[in-house]
Amino acid sequence: MEEGNTGLLQALSSALGPCGFLTKDALASRPTSLWNSQPMSALAMARPKTTSEVSTVLRLCHEASQEVVIIGGGTGPLAGAEPTSHRIAISLERMNQIESIDPVNAGCVVQAGACLQTVQEAVASHHLLFPLDLGARGSCTIGGNISTNAGGINVLRNGSMRSLVLGLEAVLSDGTVVSSMNKLLKNNAGFDLKQLFIGTEGTLGIVTRAVLRLFPQQPDRRTAMIALRGFDEVAQLLQLAKLKFGSMLSAYEVMWQSYLEEQLRFTGRRSPFEGRHAFYVIIETEGADSQLNEAVLTETLETALGDDIIADAVIAKSEQERRSLWDLRENLEPFLIDKPSFGYDVGVPIGDMPDYVKLVESNLKCRWPDSICYTMGHIADGNLHFFIKPGRKDARREDCDEDVYGALESFGGTISAEHGIGYEKRAWLLRTRSAEEVAMMRSLKNALDPKGILNPGCVFE
């Protein structure tokens, strides 16, 4: 037990029992997060099993003015779920149950530690769809998805996590449980309190349970990868796809040439296409009628080919081929393996993307002539991701931030389209939000967490 905190640690240990409380020595075998393989360092870890236990943990920590860090799947790239030696980690990993699935009301009740993929698969067995989907689906949790307002590959059809949460339960910093487990699509009775906990990165409370919105699962899914000569064509194809597919269009993901080529080089795979092309798009459509779905996809690609919008296309003929196309987009290993490598998640209006990307690349080349910028994105949502290899061991993240975020200002972009602010983007918050907006965020934080014990320093300096 840590000197000075002995009483608190003993109280937590006896409240939670041996499965629910891990000492700091027991944490040494855990990595800090998916992005940080250093052994986890924390005063201790609380692993509550129920909302009532979460409440007890926070009440005790609040009384002792003890700082805590909330941990979901640890897949968030901004260090938001990474504890430090003087904080208590609270992991929701034992609160991972799917409590109920209701096909009639198209909703399900889950605990916040449930893994996203587990939820997707559980509702699929009832012919229902939970449409949030992202590369980290096998590790991230619903609580983390809510707290970061996760986006992913299906936002253009179903919106981000905010549009998929009907209700939730959260525990405030002093242990108060606020149950707002609404199951209705429409409920305007007073303030919509759940919004306080969506996208606020665990700074206002711990999400413990949620009611998620479900949709009918469409039996037919088509996936194609398309090669294009320029960004104008990428934007034209998006317009055409929206027009032809309507609500059947579920994903429109774009890779710049260097991104796909690095993926192929690293994995040793062959390109799905004969020649080299400037851009590659993955389109996915989902519908009830397989013949109609196939016909619309074929006709759209033929029209685009005839009008010289696209250069080439391949259509996945099996789930294995589909997965193989998606792996070219979702496998991030080639971009992260050599250090330093700096990842970004920014938002820019679609029409400005080519100019913005060129500006970032030229900024980087001026600073680091050997740098390479690998770009891909959920461009239908105005969202780009960069993986930047500066080509120098001594390169500093702060300099890279200046080149990427500084260039955003003239385009009216955002420093975070989907990952949040965490600890890594705090210095830039005031360059993307007004002083009044940040002041209001701080007022909310002070009102709900007056002692500042929840994820201190996350979002705000």
> Which residues sit at the interface with ligand FAD, rule CB under 6 A?
34, 70-77, 80-81, 92, 112, 134-136, 140-141, 143-145, 147-148, 150-152, 201-202, 206-207, 332, 418-419, 455, 458
> Would you say 197 or 368 has its CB closer to ligand FAD?
197
Burial grade of 308 (CB within 10 A; 0-12, 13-18, 19 or more): exposed
Beta strand 249-256 pairing with 128-129: unpaired
> Would you say 140 or 301 has its CB closer to ligand FAD?
140
Distance in Å, CB of 117 to ligand FAD, minimum: 12
Distance in Å, CB of 222 to ligand FAD, minimum: 21
> Would you say 77 or 347 has its CB closer to ligand FAD?
77
Distance in Å, CB of 191 to ligand FAD, minimum: 19
Distance in Å, CB of 145 to ligand FAD, minimum: 4
Distance in Å, CB of 148 to ligand FAD, minimum: 4
Distance in Å, CB of 76 to ligand FAD, minimum: 3
Distance in Å, CB of 208 to ligand FAD, minimum: 7
Distance in Å, CB of 415 to ligand FAD, minimum: 14
Distance in Å, CB of 307 to ligand FAD, minimum: 31
> Would you say 158 or 363 has its CB closer to ligand FAD?
158
Distance in Å, CB of 7 to ligand FAD, minimum: 25
Which distant-in-sequence residues (6+ apart) come within 8 Å of 298 by Cβ? none
> Would you say 151 or 287 has its CB closer to ligand FAD?
151
Give the residue at shortest CB distance from ligand FAD: 144
> Would you say 315 or 429 has its CB closer to ligand FAD?
429
> Would you say 143 or 272 has its CB closer to ligand FAD?
143
CB 279 within 8 A of CB 233: yes
> Would you say 236 or 324 has its CB closer to ligand FAD?
324
> Would you say 174 or 220 has its CB closer to ligand FAD?
174
> Would you say 48 or 272 has its CB closer to ligand FAD?
48
Tell me the three-class secondary structure of the chain, residue by residue: CCCCCHHHHHHHHHHHHHHHEEECHHHCCCECCCCCCCECCCCEEECCCCHHHHHHHHHHHHHCCCCEEEECCCCCCCCCCCCCCCCEEEECCCCCCEEEEECCCCEEEEECCCEHHHHHHHHHCCCEECCCECCCCCCCEHHHHHHCCCCECCHHHHCCHHHHEEEEEEECCCCCEEEECCCCCCCCCCCCHHHHHCCCCCCCCEEEEEEEECEECCCEEEEEEEEECCHHHHHHHHHHHHHHHHHHEEEEEEEEHHHHHHHHHHHCCCCCCCCCCCEEEEEEEEECCHHHHHHHHHHHHHHHHHCCCCCEEEECCCHHHHHHHHHHHHCCHHHHCCCCCEEEEEECCHHHHHHHHHHHHHHHHHHCCCCEEEEEEEHHHCEEEEEEECCCCCCCHHHHHHHHHHCCHHHCCECCCCCCCCCCCHHHHHHHCCHHHHHHHHHHHHHHCCCCCECCCCCCC
Q: Kindly report the CA angle at 10 between 9 and 12, in degrees rounded to 5?
A: 65
